[in-house]
Chain A
Amino acid sequence: MTVSAHNIVKHFGAFTALNDVSLEAQPGEFLALLGPSGSGKTTLLRIMAGLEFPDSGSIRFDGVDVSTRPTRERAVGFVFQHYALFRHMTVAENVGFGLTVKPRNERPTPARISARVDELLSLVQLGHLGDRYPSQLSGGQRQRVALARALAVNPNILLLDEPFGALDAKVRKDLRRWLREVHQTMKLTSVFVTHDQEEALDLADRVVVMNHGVIEQIDTPDAVYNRPASAFVCDFLGNANKLDCTIANGAVEIGGHRIENTAPPASDGLGVAFIRPHEFDVAAAGQPGVPVTLRRLTRTGPMAALDCLTETGALIEMTTIEPPTGLLPGAALTLVPRRVRAYSA
């Protein structure tokens, strides 16, 4: 099912949570809403689910406006960060809940409900835990129960609000891989909210980067990382050194030193340049590039990390596989950026 948001505006008192937001998720697509806290990503998800209502704008499922429909009539599967399982019900009762509350004439027979529950529990690899209570499960298991519960009613779309937010790093990674497999077998249009860029880039078909209630960029993980549309996206995704620069005649100058081979998309004037740590070459002092003083060199496995100070005192962190030998703190170097992304300030 295609899910689309059209010109959504939402205020909480004086705070603008969403300011004219539009997007579309294609059938079977896995979309990530990525942004810092307060960027409006959870609000947008909750508006899609019908748990919040927009001040203006509309939500459409396959082109049909569902904006005024309450949650229970939208057939969305919603997975909460803190699971929101029913604690007094067993795992199997939790999963079957959505089927048992259907109107009497649509409700499957108890035998069919139980068969469906078994099927879902084996999908989430918890087939043997059906008669446990949620309190007897680990966090990762609880979240899988929550997912099975959401899938039981054959939802039109699956919405996940920071689904791995409450889990520790190891479980998070396993569950992420597993969720991608589940999504691939189900082909269900899914939207998930996260503030973890790694999660978004790893899982999603397309990433929606949000900030201050607006969408900064919607693109594939590769595109948002390598071709960020704005300074915010560039800064938010991955580590990048942020340096003041001037843009003149289509070239970037950092501290008065012209950087060759860059094609800034910005117009002339003051700007900010973003250079990722691995996108520098190290050269001897006096070469064209950014002159720096080495402050610290650390080796972590195959990589060496260099902390350098520019002439203006800005810190540059860079990594390289083969640093020049015999470098000591205080040494003068030149850093030659291979790739610069510059935006007007």
Chain B
Amino acid sequence: MVERSIMPGFGLTMGFTVFYLSVIVLIPLSAVFIKSAGMGFEAFAEVALSKRALYAYRLSFGAAAIAATINAVFGLIVAWVLVRYEFPGKRLVNALVDLPFALPTAVAGIALTALYAPNGWIGSLLAPYGIKVAFQPLGVVVALTFIGLPFVVRTVEPVLADLGPEVEEAAASLGAGRWQTFARVIWPAILPALATGFALAFARAVGEYGSVIFIAGNMPYKSEIAPLLIVMQLEQYNVPGATAIAVTMLLASFAMLFAINLLQGWSRRRMAA
């Protein structure tokens, strides 16, 4: 028996949703698996687990983790300032936060490279101290930090706004000091959102290509990221090789998404209001 519902159009919209997700997400992803499955494990491992690829994974995931950590700290501060204070130019700052979303990543890459190159504005200041940023793994971290910022700010911001100053006032009236208020009241409340923001920034950074290739220098075994390896395989018309690396990264991304969903479910259960 068909259940009667007051919401019309379930069949149509559900059909569209399934079709759309299949065309946009599911089929391309399965194609990657199918392509790589055809090459056999030996050949797969040779490309996907080569020494060069392993270095690239390490840089991609390592730099992404460092960048996401930096963003978690400073993104939290930015979100705090945007939520808690009124100041002239607040709307401008608010818009600036979204810029890494909107800016073509190649533009960001070129701008950052120009700034951090040994003869650039910031690079020339750091060069006397022997700190090199551009064309080094450090440059990768800088680029990934840039593109990951909005994820942390935009996930933490609504939670902070929802938290309101009242709970802080309540904590103070109960005798809690500033540090106790932060550690016992604010931190546990925003931690799930911060973790989600961290995971999103991390996932975005792992797959980032455009902004990184300019600043990275792309030296094998040193400053070469995994997405670049895929592009290089493609340029040599080695499609199975490219998909082998792609599958490896895809699995890692799935693991990330799964972790994010677990986190969100956990925070929703605890914070449901």
1/0 per residue, CB under 8 A from A, across B34-49: the answer is 0000000000000000
B271 at the binding interface (Cβ < 8 Å): yes
Task: Give the complex CA separation of A152 and B166 in angstroms.
Answer: 18
1/0 per residue, CB under 8 A from B, across A82-114: the answer is 101111110000000110111000000000000
Q: Which residues of B contact A97 (CB under 8 A)?
A: 171, 174, 176, 184
A149 at the binding interface (Cβ < 8 Å): yes
Query: Given A82-B166, A87-B271, A87-B273: A71 and B173 within 8 A (CB)?
Result: yes
Query: Which residues of B in the span 2-52 have a Cβ within 8 Å of any Cβ on A?
Result: none
Would you call the interface of chain B mostly helix, strand, loop, or mixed? helix
Question: What number of residue pairs across chains A and B have CB atoms under 8 A from each other?
Answer: 76
* Segment with Cβ contacts to B, from A72-80, A118-126, A280-288: A72-80
Q: Which residues of A contact B173 (CB under 8 A)?
A: 49-51, 71-72, 74, 76-78, 150
A133 at the binding interface (Cβ < 8 Å): yes
Q: Which residues of A contact B170 (CB under 8 A)?
A: 78, 80, 84-86, 146, 149
1/0 per residue, CB under 8 A from B, across A203-230: the answer is 0000000000000000000000000000
Would you call the interface of chain A mostly helix, strand, loop, or mixed? loop
Could you tell me the distance in whole angstroms from the C-beta of A43 to the nearest C-beta in chain B? 14
Query: Which residues of B in the span 158-200 have a Cβ within 8 Å of any Cβ on A?
Result: 164, 166-167, 169-177, 180, 184-185, 188-189
1/0 per residue, CB under 8 A from A, across B141-171: the answer is 0000000000000000000000010110111
Count B interface residues, CB 8 Å. Answer: 21
A251 at the binding interface (Cβ < 8 Å): no
Could you tell me the distance in whole angstroms from the C-beta of B228 to the nearest C-beta in chain A? 42
B91 at the binding interface (Cβ < 8 Å): no
Task: Give the complex CA separation of A75 and B273 in angstroms.
Answer: 29
1/0 per residue, CB under 8 A from B, across A124-152: the answer is 00000000010100000000001001101
Count A interface residues, CB 8 Å. Answer: 31
Residue of B nearest to A71 (CB): B172
Could you tell me the distance in whole angstroms from the C-beta of A48 to the nearest C-beta in chain B? 11
Q: Which residues of A contact B166 (CB under 8 A)?
A: 80, 82, 84
A330 at the binding interface (Cβ < 8 Å): no
Residue of A nearest to B270 (CB): A88
Residue of B nearest to A152 (CB): B174
Task: Give the complex CA separation of A77 and B169 in angstroms.
Answer: 11
Task: Give the complex CA separation of A194 and B26 in angstroms.
Answer: 58
Which residue of A51, A101, A149 has the most chain B CB atoms within 10 A of its CB atom?
A101
Query: Given A71-B169, A78-B169, A135-B271: A88 and B174 within 8 A (CB)?
Result: no
B102 at the binding interface (Cβ < 8 Å): no
A153 at the binding interface (Cβ < 8 Å): yes
B92 at the binding interface (Cβ < 8 Å): no
Could you tell me the distance in whole angstroms from the C-beta of A91 to the nearest C-beta in chain B? 14
Q: Which residues of A contact B172 (CB under 8 A)?
A: 51, 70-72
B185 and A153 within 8 A (CB) = no
B177 and A72 within 8 A (CB) = yes
A101 and B177 within 8 A (CB) = yes
Q: Which residues of A contact B180 (CB under 8 A)?
A: 101
1/0 per residue, CB under 8 A from A, across B221-242: the answer is 0000000000000000000000
Query: Given A78-B169, A84-B167: A72 and B271 within 8 A (CB)?
Result: no
Could you tell me the distance in whole angstroms from the C-beta of B132 to the nearest C-beta in chain A? 44
B169 and A51 within 8 A (CB) = yes
Could you tell me the distance in whole angstroms from the C-beta of A44 to the nearest C-beta in chain B? 16
Query: Given A87-B271, A88-B189, A88-B271: A153 and B167 within 8 A (CB)?
Result: no
Q: Which residues of A contact B1 (CB under 8 A)?
A: none
Q: Which residues of A contact B251 (CB under 8 A)?
A: none
Could you tell me the distance in whole angstroms from the C-beta of A248 to the nearest C-beta in chain B? 54
Q: Which residues of B contact A100 (CB under 8 A)?
A: 184
Q: Which residues of B contact A74 (CB under 8 A)?
A: 173
A101 and B184 within 8 A (CB) = yes
B272 at the binding interface (Cβ < 8 Å): yes
Q: Which residues of A contact B188 (CB under 8 A)?
A: 88-89
Task: Give the complex CA separation of A89 and B171 in angstroms.
Answer: 13
Could you tell me the distance in whole angstroms from the C-beta of B184 to the nearest C-beta in chain A? 7
Q: Which residues of B contact A88 (CB under 8 A)?
A: 188-189, 270-271
Q: Which residues of A contact B171 (CB under 8 A)?
A: 86, 97, 101
Could you tell me the distance in whole angstroms from the C-beta of A22 to the nearest C-beta in chain B? 23
Q: Give 27 A-B contacts (CB < 8 Å), ordered by A residue.
A: A51-B172, A72-B174, A72-B175, A72-B176, A72-B177, A75-B175, A77-B173, A78-B169, A80-B166, A80-B169, A82-B166, A84-B166, A85-B170, A86-B171, A86-B185, A87-B270, A88-B189, A89-B188, A97-B171, A97-B176, A97-B184, A98-B175, A101-B180, A149-B174, A150-B174, A152-B174, A153-B175
Known: A49-B173, A84-B164, A101-B171. 12 other contacts (CB 8 A): A51-B172, A70-B172, A78-B173, A80-B169, A84-B169, A86-B171, A87-B189, A87-B270, A101-B174, A101-B177, A135-B271, A153-B175
3 smallest beta-carbon distances between A and B, as pairs = A98-B174, A84-B166, A78-B173
